[in-house]
């Protein structure tokens, strides 16, 4: 049975259900694009032209970069993190066994965040939790950490772990992380409207707090660039997903684009949750689909694609999602 494609009406219904100044639903079906915008902001919402903060969706870009460097034999998945970070690092058996693969698959044994991030004023933590967490502080937290589980034995989502891929890949190659990303991922994929650094300007969506009334300052990733710094337009995000749907269309990245879709581990009581090196994978009536969500203090994002039907979906809004948010769940439901 042929899978029905999400309709413009369904995209419009999701956009209209989200209370945010700018909301975007973008669909690519077999390469044909449909973009629906809306929101509570000024009439004639221009969300389709804005760059949005995608938060943890950045982790999928970092995973693709790692896979690319590994397939080009510039480094290896099994390279140990402790060998790539600046000395001194006091010995610790579990910490010293962590590899780049463990970091990317959330099996490093590291916590979601180190205590040094939590131990800051409540208001500052909620407004911009990483702004004052520089790379040296992050590396110091790693040097002091004592993983609770041995690497590779337990899945536990870790912003900390993926963030450490930034300095690790930079040190392994002698190239700044953002330059690596531009050279090996953003450039080859033609993502000219995607960035990890640089000042905000009129092209960037302005984030808002839970009420939707107060503007948030631009997200400052501090030393956590590899885990949450990407800003991109809806069009670039569709281009990114389309490359994953058709890896052969990008020969230099083809092997890496395929690899990041390979199921690597399963978890859950009935092993219902499947993970690749960068994506969550769930089943559906029309074949498995891949997804990842992301959020910053003032914006949220959800990306998903299903190879068997040539379908890619991007959902974006510039308001920190409230408990009754519908954007991510509704987008997920379109494929699930």
d(CA 171, CA 165): 10
pLDDT at position 51, please? Answer: 97
Distance CA 264, CA 22 (A): 36
Give residue 88's pLDDT. 65
The predicted pLDDT at position 4 comes to: 78
How high is the pLDDT of residue 135?
93
Entry pTM: 0.96
Which of 10, 1, 8, 29 has its CA nearest to residue 309?
29
Give pLDDT, residue 170: 97
pLDDT at 152: 95
In order, the DSSP letters of 216-249 are PPPP--TT-HHHH--EE-HHHHHHHHHHHH-GGG
- Residue 32, beta-bridge partner list: 29
- Residue from 167, 18, 141, 177 nearest 81 by CA: 167
Six token digits for residue 215: 């503007």
Mean pLDDT per segment of 10 residues, for the chain of length 336 residues? 84 94 96 95 77 97 98 97 83 93 97 86 76 90 92 96 98 97 98 95 92 86 96 98 97 97 88 92 95 95 97 95 82 93
Rounded CA-CA distance 241/78 in Å is 27
pLDDT of residue 44: 55
Which tokens is 309 given? 């039907």
| Beta partners for residue 314, in sequence order | 26, 303
């Amino acid at each position: 049975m042929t899978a029905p494609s999400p309709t413009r009406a369904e995209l419009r219904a999701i956009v209209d259900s989200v209370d945010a100044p700018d909301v975007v639903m973008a669909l690519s079906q077999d390469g044909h694009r449909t973009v629906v915008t809306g929101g509570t902001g000024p009439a004639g919402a221009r969300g389709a032209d804005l760059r949005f903060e995608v938060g943890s969706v950045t982790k999928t870009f970092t995973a693709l970069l790692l896979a690319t460097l590994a397939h080009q034999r510039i480094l290896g998945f099994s390279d140990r993190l402790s060998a790539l970070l600046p000395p001194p690092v006091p010995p610790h058996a579990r910490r010293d066994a962590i590899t780049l693969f463990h970091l990317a698959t959330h099996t490093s044994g590291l916590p979601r965040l180190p205590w040094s991030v939590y131990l800051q004023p409540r208001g500052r933590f909620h407004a911009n939790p990483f702004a004052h967490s520089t790379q040296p502080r992050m590396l110091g937290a790693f040097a002091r950490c004592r993983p609770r589980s041995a690497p590779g034995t337990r899945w536990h989502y870790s912003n900390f772990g993926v963030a450490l891929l930034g300095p690790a890949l930079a040190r392994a190659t002698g190239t700044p992380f953002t330059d690596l990303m531009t050279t090996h991922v953003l450039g080859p994929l033609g993502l000219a409207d995607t960035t990890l650094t640089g000042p905000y300007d009129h092209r960037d969506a302005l984030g808002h707090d839970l009420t939707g009334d107060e503007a948030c300052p631009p997200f400052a990733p501090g030393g956590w660039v590899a885990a949450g710094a990407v800003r991109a337009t809806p069009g670039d995000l569709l281009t990114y997903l389309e490359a994953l749907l058709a890896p052969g269309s990008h020969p230099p990245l083809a092997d890496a684009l395929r690899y990041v879709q390979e199921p690597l581990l399963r978890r859950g009581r009935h092993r219902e949750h499947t993970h690749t090196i960068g994506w969550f994978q769930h089943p559906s009536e029309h074949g498995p689909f891949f997804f990842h969500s992301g959020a910053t203090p003032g914006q949220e994002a959800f990306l998903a694609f299903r190879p068997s039907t040539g379908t890619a979906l991007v959902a974006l809004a510039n308001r920190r999602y409230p408990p009754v948010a519908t954007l991510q769940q509704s987008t997920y439901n379109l494929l699930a």
